[in-house]
Structure 1
Amino acid sequence: MVSPTRLLIVNFIFLLGSFMVRCAGCTWNDIVDQDLDRRVSRTRLRPMARRAISTSSAFAFTVLQVLVGLGVHELLLPRQCLYYSIPSIVSTGLYPYGKRFTNYPQIILGCVFSWGVIMAFPAFDLDLPSSLDGRISVGCLFLSCMSWTTVYDTIYAAQDTKDDLKVGIGSPVVRHRDYTPRVIMVAALGQIILLCFTGIAMKATWAFFSSTCLGTTLILGIMIRSVDLHDPKDCIWWFKNGSFITGVAITSGFVIEYVFRILNRD
């Protein structure tokens, strides 16, 4: 089992690297979307959209951020992590184009945000699980994170529904309109079920199921019942706070489970 000290160090390194790569993704998104952003009221004053920054300067800044993020991983994590990060980087590059060709760009974004589940193994010098239970737990956790991304990014997309319809930007809200709450509910249900399967496969204790599974169920239930998808201010509030609180519930279950296993081992 990974020691607490190493767990904290590796997570801190992941935080630094992912922060830089995420910033690069946001910059790249603004570069690609600048023509669309000028036609959406919420985004028309972004630096790229109002031409406050040139495309060439923004691109150079994107490259710099990617290099810094990869440099952090290269210097502080095993070399294999660099290779494992390639699918995430490619998905980050593709994401801004997703809304032009599909109503479900959240699937691409979900791959970006969920890939850390896979990268965690080489970061700790571990091989991907060879046992069936191990593979099930990893696969279910990965898909659960993708479902989670779909939930909160669909709420985020609801802010711009009117403009998206005019401009031709794809999203689940544009595709399903009045049925969007059901789409969010299905994604949330999928997230919860997959988290439960993750716990079963890794033979988790009651602590994981009560905090991660039950906690996530309560939070998502309150959010889905409360959010007004026709009110942009309410959407952004639940996007920020709902996703954060859900993350706390999910993480706390894993942390408590880890502590229990450390104590039982000793």
Structure 2
Amino acid sequence: MAVKVGEKKNASASDGSNHDLVRGVWQLMRFHTFEGLSTSSIGWLALFFYAMQQDLSFDSVRQAFIGILACYHMTHGIFCLWNDICDRDFDGKVARTRKRPLPSGMVTLNEAVTVFIAGLVASLGVTYVLLGQDVTLVMVPIWGLSFIYPLCKRVIWAPQVVLGLTMALCVLPPWVAVGNIDSPGANLLPASLFGAIFCWLVYLDLIYASQDRPDDEKAGVKSLAVFLGDNLKAGLTVLGVFQVAFFTLAAFAASASNFMWTFGIAVWAASVPWSILSLDPRDRNSGGRIFLVNALLGIYMAVVSGIDVWRSAQ
């Protein structure tokens, strides 16, 4: 019976009866999840840390806040679509992803490529209008790395490093948007935030990739989770220590308040050992659960830093 059901699904994908362009594109761009909001939270977190350092009010960074939401959310969606275009054959071989719009036939390849090109142009336009020319130029390497990231899975064993670099660069557009300062040691803040986000994203993607490791090994996907094997938790521990150290350095550089230290840095530090100890590599669903908690933690950290900026202006 299971074989017959599978055959029916495959036939549906091939004859186009599963085609649903609007719903498929919506899913390809992950608009049905909060992933775009999680990506935007990285920009917001950096924006609020810069506001702390420069003693800016929430009102003075409101335009940058809105621009980051639009730019990062759209960029995330477009390059998730691009990732699925590149991974369409791999996704069909992985149990968790074989029902995604491209391998299932919900969206055709030509349709996906057309939407990607149109979306990329729209992302550039939105960024230019809301954040200006200088920020748009700083976004160019982020778009470039986002483009090559899916291709790295065929070439290197640590595509997570490319993803980490891509997301870590997201702390720079807010720095340009609010106007960086030239005082001694001012560059310590963006540098420490870059290090924190890099370590966190590699750590986060390792947790996520752990649930697909058996399928990735069979499909020949190059992944740091596959490379580390039984040493996965050791790698996560190193990344966890470094991300907490970098966030601590960033809080010092931003002259963060006791509120930020208590409800932000301390909570983040406590989450690392909890995540690593809770992860069960033998349970394929464990990685997804821990990933979800950590993605929400990024949004939480942005909210706490935003509240801290708002409180300081009262």
Alignment of 1:208 with 2:255, yes or no, is no
Measured in 1, the distance between the counterparts of 2:62 and 2:281 equals 38
Alignment of 1:224-263 (within 5 A): 224-248=276-300, 250-259=301-310, 261-263=312-314
Alignment of 1:182 with 2:234, yes or no, is yes
Alignment of 1:138 with 2:184, yes or no, is no
The CA deviation string for residues 218-249 of structure 1, in whole angstroms up to 9 with x for no partner, is 1222111112122222211111123212441x
Alignment of 1:97 with 2:148, yes or no, is no
Tell me what 1:196 maps to.
Answer: 248
Q: Please, what TM-score do these two structures have when normalized by structure 1?
A: 0.90
Cα distance, 1:132 vs structure 2: 4.1
Larger Rg: 2
SS at match of 2:187: helix
1:211–1:252 CA contact under 8 A, matched in 2: no
Measured in 2, the distance between the counterparts of 1:228 and 1:242 equals 15
SS at match of 2:103: coil
Alignment of 1:219 with 2:297, yes or no, is no
Tell me what 1:63 maps to.
Answer: 117
Tell me what 1:34 maps to.
Answer: 88
Give the letter aligned to residue 32 of structure 1: C
Cα distance, 1:256 vs structure 2: 4.6
Measured in 2, the distance between the counterparts of 1:246 and 1:71 equals 27
Measured in 2, the distance between the counterparts of 1:262 and 1:188 equals 33
Tell me what 1:156 maps to.
Answer: 208
Measured in 1, the distance between the counterparts of 2:80 and 2:311 equals 38
Alignment of 1:45-60 (within 5 A): 45-60=99-114
Give the letter aligned to residue 249 of structure 2: F
Unaligned stretches of 5+ in structure 2? 1-54
Measured in 1, the distance between the counterparts of 2:111 and 2:133 equals 30
Match of 1:13 among 67, 71, 79: 67
Cα distance, 1:112 vs structure 2: 2.2
2:280–2:286 CA contact under 8 A, matched in 1: yes
SS at match of 2:256: coil
Matched residue pairs, number?
Answer: 260
Measured in 2, the distance between the counterparts of 1:144 and 1:132 equals 21
Give the letter aligned to residue 243 of structure 2: Q
SS at match of 2:98: coil
Cα distance, 1:154 vs structure 2: 0.6
Match of 2:174 among 120, 133, 145: 120
Tell me what 2:162 maps to.
Answer: 108
Match of 1:43 among 97, 104, 122: 97
Measured in 2, the distance between the counterparts of 1:235 and 1:57 equals 32
Q: Which has the higher contact order (CA 8 A, sep 6+)?
A: 2
Measured in 2, the distance between the counterparts of 1:111 and 1:186 equals 17
1:207–1:256 CA contact under 8 A, matched in 2: no
The CA deviation string for residues 185-205 of structure 1, in whole angstroms up to 9 with x for no partner, is 111111000011112223333
1:210–1:253 CA contact under 8 A, matched in 2: no
Measured in 2, the distance between the counterparts of 1:246 and 1:176 equals 25
SS at match of 1:182: helix
Give the letter aligned to residue 292 of structure 2: K
2:58–2:309 CA contact under 8 A, matched in 1: no
Over aligned residues, Cα RMSD in angstroms? 1.8
The CA deviation string for residues 4-48 of structure 1, in whole angstroms up to 9 with x for no partner, is 223233212211121111111011001111121122222122221
1:209–1:253 CA contact under 8 A, matched in 2: no
Cα distance, 1:87 vs structure 2: 0.5
